[in-house]
Every structure is written in structure tokens, then in C-alpha cells.
Amino acid sequence: MPAKRRVARPDDDREERPAELTATTASQAGLRHIVDLTAREAESVTLVEPVEDGWVVEVEVIEDRRIPSSGDILALYEADLDTEGNLLSYRRKGRYRRGTGDMPRER
């Protein structure tokens, strides 16, 4: 959960507000959300990008382990997060066999 910081108000009331996400904390939040939703093992975070109202995080997950590992089926998921790291939406962008080269990006 993001760290909280205190913000002083003119009327001396204090309100706790989450600190802004960095690329690192956004990637951790996106990774956690994707792993929780898919119940799959994450391979890596492949993209962390700030957008107007939050962050976009792409995570590569192992969908099916094979022997040898070059036969593993991987998938690329994209998570849209708000400025506090809450998940707004996610989608699977595609599946592919490990070692078949990079999946084309659609941005």
C-alpha cells in the first residue's frame, strides 16, 4: 500500500493522502494486481508508463509451463492504474510461445 503523507489545511485540520506513485511503485502495484487476478506466476514487468490520470503497466506471465522451458506459453497483460495504484482495468494483450521473438506492440 502506498505511503501516506500529511497535508496541512488552512483551518488546521489534517487529512491523510497517499503519496504519489513513482514508476517503481506503479510497477509493483501493477504486478501485484495482475498476479492476484490471473493466479499465474509473473515473468517480468515489460512496460511502466505514466498517463494523464495514472499509469499503464504491462506484465509478462507464464500461462503454461512446459519441458523444456522453451515451450512455455507466455502472455502479456496490461493494467491501467489510477494515481494511487488502484486497478481501473486490465486485459490480456496476447499469448505466445517463449523464444518466438517479441510480440508486436500496439500503442
- For 26-80, what is each residue's pLDDT tens digit? 999 999 999 999 999 999 999 999 999 999 999 999 999 888 888 899 999 999 9
Q: Alpha-carbon distance 84 to 53, whole Å? A: 10
Is 102 a member of any domain? no
The structure's pTM equals: 0.75
Query: Domain range spanning residue 31?
Result: 4-97
Is 105 a member of any domain? no
How many separate domains does the chain show?
Answer: 1
Q: How far apart are the first and last CA of the chain?
A: 29
Is 46 a member of any domain? yes
Close Cβ partners of 42 (under 8 Å, ≥ 6 residues apart):
31, 34, 35, 59, 60, 61, 62
